[in-house]
Amino acid sequence: MRDRDASVVWHEAECGGYAADLALWEELADQCAGRILELGCGTGRVARHLARRGHRVVGVDANAALIAELSRSAAAPTIEAVLADVRDFELGSEFELAIAPMQLIQLLDSADQRLACLRSVERHLAAGGAAAFAIVESVPAPTDAPPPLPDTREADGWVYSSLPIEAARDDGAIRVRRLRQTVSPGGELSEAIDEVVLRELDAATLEAEAAKAGLRAAGRRSIPATDAHVGSTVVLLGMEG
């Protein structure tokens, strides 16, 4: 029997090894002296990285298993893990920086939901505070290059393997499909296709939506592509006034 929730292991397998964005989050975090808010923190890939650099981070996620894992592994009081919906949360404090790595904002189903998230962020930013949202604006055309190696994790004798097989546009969305394979301690293999749907979004649209929430455009940065991940645009936002 597996002791850890499967969603935790899959999250760590598919996201835990990604590091191409960490230098940018470091740079932004080092520019502020106060606490940092991370939206969609998962098990703490970014939060724990920033905490090791001396920053205080509050991570928000709607997945109870991921939040429980972060709470278990976090070095309190440097990291606080909060179970909450990024579209409507109230933490009772302000932050100098809010970050949303790995296309969190594109997981929301509509412009209305993105606006709700942006308004929640705006309510929690201190005067002079900033926010940064990573998005994927385009999907590279298919090539003849060999596929990347699968992401793998072992937990309690079980082996988890996740292989990216497709990322394609479909009716206003980017559908990312992975082949997930699980091998039990006894050697039994099971597999399934997992799909993540990202809503298409460009930087100009996100900046226009942010303006409705009282946030001003403050520049854009880029995160380079890797063999297994497409590149991202990071939209920087600041408080109005």
Report if residue 144 sits inside a domain: no
pLDDT tier at 4, thresholds 50, 70, 90: low
Tokens representing 220 are 């854009």
Q: What is the pLDDT of residues 141-197, one digit of tens each?
A: 666 667 778 999 998 899 999 998 888 888 889 999 999 999 999 999 999 999 999
- Say yes or no to pLDDT of 1 above 50: no
Supply the range of the domain harboring residue 169.
Answer: 151-198
Q: Are residues 172 and 234 in the same domain?
A: no
Q: Are residues 166 and 50 in the same domain?
A: no
Q: Are residues 59 and 125 in the same domain?
A: yes
Q: Are residues 62 and 126 in the same domain?
A: yes
* Spatial CA neighbour of 82 closest among 95, 99, 70: 70
Q: Are residues 63 and 91 in the same domain?
A: yes
Q: What is the pLDDT of residues 52-100, one digit of tens each?
A: 999 999 999 999 999 999 998 876 678 999 999 999 999 999 999 999 9
Q: Are residues 129 and 163 in the same domain?
A: no
Q: What is the pLDDT of residues 7-64, one digit of tens each?
A: 999 999 999 999 999 999 999 999 998 899 999 999 999 999 999 999 999 999 999 9
Q: Are residues 211 and 190 in the same domain?
A: no
Report if residue 30 sits inside a domain: yes
Q: Are residues 67 and 119 in the same domain?
A: yes
Element (H, E) at 198: strand 189-199
Report if residue 121 sits inside a domain: yes
Element (H, E) at 8: helix 6-15
Distance of CA 179 to the CA centre of its chain: 20
Q: Are residues 155 and 223 in the same domain?
A: no
Q: Are residues 117 and 60 in the same domain?
A: yes
Q: Are residues 35 and 129 in the same domain?
A: yes
Q: What is the CATH number of the domain that holds 185?
A: 2.20.25.110
Average of per-residue pLDDT across 204-224: 97
Domain tally for the chain? 2
Mean pLDDT of the chain: 92
| 3-class state of residue 66 by DSSP | helix
Report if residue 91 sits inside a domain: yes
Report if residue 146 sits inside a domain: no
Q: Are residues 12 and 107 in the same domain?
A: yes
Q: What is the C-alpha separation between 20 and 213, in angstroms, rounded?
A: 29
Report if residue 1 sits inside a domain: no
Q: 167 or 228, which is more confident?
A: 167
- Tell me the residue type at 146: P
